[in-house]
Structures are given as C-alpha cells and as structure tokens.
Structure 1
Amino acid sequence: MDILEQISKNISNLSKKQKVVAKYILENWKNIPHQSSVEIAKNLEISQSSVIRTTKTLGFNSFPELQNALHLIIQRQLSFVDRLEQTEVVNPNIETTLLKIRHLQEMNLRQTINASNPKHIRQTIEYIVNARKVYVVGMRSSATLVHYLGFNLNMMTKKIKQITNDYSLLEDIRSLDKQDLLIAISFPRYTQLTKTAVYLAKEQQCPIVAITDCLSSPIAKPADIVLLAASKSLYFNQSLSAAMALCDILLTQLTTDYHQLYRQGMEELEKDYERLNIF
C-alpha cells in the first residue's frame, strides 16, 4: 500500500480538523514537498500544530518525513524528460532561477540539519573510528559523494575503500564482516547495485550506514543508521548539495573528536605535499 492509499484508508478515523488536513494532502500531494507546515496551516486557516499532529496521526514521525515520502513518489513517476519540461516552465529567466535555487537549497539544507540525529552522527563516527576497514559505496551521481567523503576520510586513515562501479563489488562486499563498516550512498534514481551491496553486507553482519533522501529509500530498511539529506531540485536530476553538507558534518565532527588520533597521519601527508610541491 502506498502512502496516498494509506491516508485515504485512514481518513475516516481522523478528527474533523485532521480530515481537513488529510484531504488537503491528498488533493495537493505533488505540492506538499515544496510547502512548509506553516504555509499549509495558513492555507487551511488552522494552527501549525494541527498540521503536525495530523502528520503524526497518519503514521509519520515528522512533517519532513511526509514530505520526503511524497517526494519519492513524485520522482518515481517523472521521467528525465518530464523534469526537463518542468525546469523550462519554472525557470523562465536567470534572475528567477537564482532566487528559486537559493530558496530551494536553503530549504534542503534546513531540512537536512533538522532531520540530523546527533546520536546517529556520533554512532557513525564511532563506527568509522573502530572499523577495521570502511567501504564507501555509491553509483552514478552518488559516486560524487563517495569520492568526496572517501577522499577526505582517506586523508586521515588508510583503511578507506571507495566503490563506484561493479568491477569488484561482489568480491569486496563478500569480504566484509562485523569488524568492518559499509557506508552506502544512494539517491534517486536508486541503483540496484548499491541495494545489493547493502543486503550482502547485512548478511555478513557488517554495520551499515545509509546516506539517502528518505526512509522509503531501498537502502534505508536494512541499515543500522540512516542519515537523511533532502535532495529536491528544480532541474531534471537530484541536488546533492545538502548531502555534501551532511558529509561535511561527519568530517568536521570526526576531526573535532579525534584530531589527536589522526594528527600523525596528517603531518606525514603535509610533508609529502611539501616534497611534491603541492600547495
């Protein structure tokens, strides 16, 4: 049962005010990912708390979780051509584009920060520090994040392996066990290979951290920790800027908590930079 069917089925059990919110969601679900709970409350002339309570009654932990779930439905329905046509309509000129992109990126970043659980961030860092080997996996556009996170982690410790293709994925993942860590990164359109890597790692009892856009993501369910990053975009593909910021959060906290642990490695790296005249 998808989310819209779930809301329709449960609407009869809601209070009068909650039914108003639920009907608004059903009638405007394509716009909900781009509206705040404050905006919806204003449109319906009710309180913001009523919108949030209805969201939780419908089975979501928060309003952003509902937005992410609806956004996933939209992305699955739209082809690249559909998204391209939307871009041409939404962005008639560069001035409008600049304003809309600024607003959207601010919203993505705000949602990502608000959805970040400090305990999950801390546990991810502990996993990285204590793991025998850390595998960072992601395909297609997510490979950009794999390179960014993996490159910076590799500057601190040499136990990092990046996987962005299928050349040796099965062999690499099969070697994992509970002493290692898999960081899987996947955003729409999700790849079967990343999902396969996660489920194989699960079979090997390897801890898994998923960096993705919503709890409905195919890599979220088997993961031990899910770190969410909003990826809404006005063009034909997903925006990864908020996910990049999430990687920065991990890297910053890791170096803050364990700067002494990685100090020697960084000093040796600086010597190599000087020797090779890299500046």
Structure 2
Amino acid sequence: MRTLQETIKVHYSSLSPGQQKVAAFYIERPQEAALLTAFQIGKQVGVSETTVIRLAYALGFSGYSELQQALRKDWLLPKQDISEVLPSKDGQTNDNQLIRQVILREQALLQNLAEQIKVDDVWAMAETLIHSDRIYIGGFGSSYAAAYWLYYALKQMRGNVVISSPTGFMTEDICDLTTNSAAVIFSFPRYRQDTVQAATIAKEQGAKIIGITDRTLSPIGQLADMTFTSSENEVTDAHSIASIISLLDMLLAGMRIRDCEHIAKRQQQLEHLYAEQQLFSE
C-alpha cells in the first residue's frame, strides 16, 4: 500500500494548480496539516475549501476524513522544530552561542532524518545499486560534493560507476545506460535545469532513477522512481550536507551487508594495487 507521500507524487502532475498547492502543503507541513480542517488548510494555502476536498477525491480517497487519517498514520511524528535551534537573526547571538546553535541544528536534522526514513526503501535502493549493470551519478553545482562522495565510496565496492562533472553531463555517459542500470541524481536548491534533463535522458534509456533531494515535490523528486529526501521539513536558509551523508552511509551499510563477498573481493584487489603503487604512507 502506498503512503500518502507516494500517492501525492504519483498524482501530482495531474492535479489542478490549486490542488498542487494543497498537496505541497501536506508534504512540507504535515504536522500542521494533520490538525487543520479543510477550510483552515484552504485559508493557509490560498484556495477554497472545495479545492482541498477535491484533492482527497483526486488522490483516490473516499473523502477529506480518510485523507487526514492517512496523513496522521504516515507522518504525524514528534519532531524537533529546527527553527528553534537556528542561529538568531537579530544579531544578538555571541560567538559561543552561534557554534552551539549550529551543532544543535545538525542534531535536529539527523533526528528528523531518523524519524522520516523508511528502512525498506533503503534496502530497496541498496539492492538496486548492487544488481545494476552500470551506475550513473549526477550532481551539478553545489550538489556535486555529495555526488562525488557517493561515487568514490561506490568505486571501492563495485565497478561500472561513472559520475558527471560539476558543470554538466556528457550524453555519451548516459547513452550507455540500460534497463538494468541505475542513475542516482542529486538535486538541491537552487535546482538546475540540466539535472532534470540528465534524469529524463537516463529514464528514456530505461534506467531506474534514484533521486536524492531536499523534498519529494522537487523537480527530481517528481521524476524519480525512488526518492530520498535529506530532511523533508527543514526550515532554513542553507542546506546542510550532514543529513545527506548520513543517508548515503545507511545505503552503503546496506550494500556491505547484502553484497559482502563481492565487495570484500574488490577491496582486496584494490589494496593489492595500492600497495604495489605505494599510494598511501601507512
């Protein structure tokens, strides 16, 4: 059975503009939405109560009450409000307070990630990357840092992994993808148009698209077959890489468990070559 988040993603492109506003509200502010009436949600979003109710029917629910029940079941989790630990904007925060607030903010992000992640999805992604004949990793601009981190880690574990450049993609790399391939696409604000273009070409080749982004309804989130969000309800002016790396660590741990023999063999081969080349000082 699909979660409400998955249901919204499937139907999002067919919704009216007003219904899309309401759907985005449900995903981005689930705790607030779970406690409001259809009239109150409509007022918050700037649409009519009828539009909110029609969204429930468009998503396949029998009515607004059933939609609310699905929301409460899937998403009503006790989360720390990240805005409470953000640095003050009034200029009154001293240096020591600022450092502590940054640390508390990172802790809150990781706690939110732990509460929203679906373990079955992590295992499914791990299996996909283990059995893919080729993996393409795309990340442009600021998204390239996390993309390269995953690329380097995967190269230690398996072959046939390629990565984009930070400035764009080569069509020749994507051309080699097949129906047995996977494309892991990183996309964080500000969203680049070439990211969607690369993912679209990869999907046309039959590859499974894994989107790693900040929210389900981001451009890549809507396009991907599997979407992982670093912190769905983050309220901040800058995106933290801490939760992204933690998400990737979960993925890599799953791969090591499910494909331990092949990974161990590859790492032994690499260590032999490293020793021959005297690559490391220790």
- 1:30-78 C-alpha deviation (Å, 9 max, x unpaired): xxxxxxxxxxxxxxxxxxxxxxx999629855258xx9xxx9xxxxxxx
Q: Which amino acid aligns with 1:62?
A: W
- What is the CA-CA distance between 1:238 and the residue it aligns to? 1.3
2:264 matches 1:228:
no
Structure 1 266/4 Cα, relative in aligned 2: closer, same or farther at 3 Å?
Answer: closer
**Pairing 1:62–2:75 present:** yes
CA gap of 1:251–1:90, structure 2 versus 1, over 3 A, is farther
1:258 aligns with 2:278: no
Match of 2:129 in 1: 128
Aligned length: 226
Contact 1:185 1:212 in 2 (8 A): yes
- 1:163 is aligned to 164
**Residue 124 of structure 2 aligns to a residue in which SS?**
helix
Is 2:44 the partner of 1:26? yes
Distance in structure 2 (CA, Å) of the matches to 1:63 and 1:97: 30
Q: TM-score, normalised by structure 2?
A: 0.69
Amino acid aligned to 1:225: M
Counterpart in the other structure of 2:242: 241
CA RMSD of aligned residues (A): 3.5
Q: Match for 1:57: what amino acid?
A: Q
For residues 183-242 of structure 1, the C-alpha deviation after alignment (integer angstroms, 9 at most, x for no partner) is: 0111111111111111111222211111111111100122111111118475x5311110
Structure 1 residue aligned with 2:30? none
Match of 2:177 in 1: 176
- Which segments of 5 or more consecutive residues in structure 2 lack a partner in the other structure? 1-16, 27-34, 46-63
Query: Which residue is equivalent to 2:274?
Result: 273
Instruction: Measure the CA separation in 2 of the matches of 1:105 and 1:56.
Output: 32
Query: What is the DSSP-based 3-state SS (H/G/I as helix, E as strand, rest coil) of the residue aligned with 2:220?
Result: coil
Residue 263 of structure 1: how far off its partner (Å): 1.1
Q: The residue matched to 2:200 in structure 1 has which SS?
A: helix
State the distance in 1 between where 2:67 and 2:100 align. Answer: 32
What CA distance in whole angstroms lies between the structure 1 residues aligned with 2:279 and 2:199?
40
Deviation, structure 1 residue 99: 2.6
User: CA deviation digits over 1:104-151, x for unaligned, max 9?
Assistant: 212211222222222211111111111111011111111011111100
Distance 1:216 1:190, change over 3 A: same
Give the whole-Å Cα distance in 1 for the aligned partners of 2:39 and 2:97: 31
What is the distance in 2 between the residues matched to 1:110 and 1:269?
35
Rounded to whole Å, the distance in 2 between the matches of 1:91 and 1:176 is 53
| SS at structure 2 position matched to 1:179 | coil
- C-alpha distance in structure 2 between counterparts of 1:104 and 1:165, whole Å: 28
Q: Secondary structure at the match of 1:209?
A: strand
- 1:6 aligned partner: 22
TM-score (norm: length of structure 1): 0.69
What 5-or-longer segments of structure 1 have no aligned partner?
11-16, 28-52, 72-85
Distance 1:270 1:262 in 2: 12
* Contact 1:18 1:54 (8 Å CA) reproduced: no
CA contact (8 A) 1:21 1:54 kept: no
**Larger relative contact order (Cα-Cα within 8 Å, sequence gap ≥ 6):** 1
SS in 2 for 1:57: helix
Q: 1:245, 1:274 → 2: CA distance?
A: 30
2:169–2:198 Cα contact (<8 Å) kept: no
Paired residue type of 1:118: V
- Identical-pair percentage: 20
**1:212 to 1:168, Cα distance in 2 relative to 1, 3 A:** closer
- Name the CA distance, whole Å, in 2 between partners of 1:258 and 1:90: 51
Residue 166 of structure 1 contacts residue 193 of structure 1 at CA under 8 Å; is this kept in 2? no
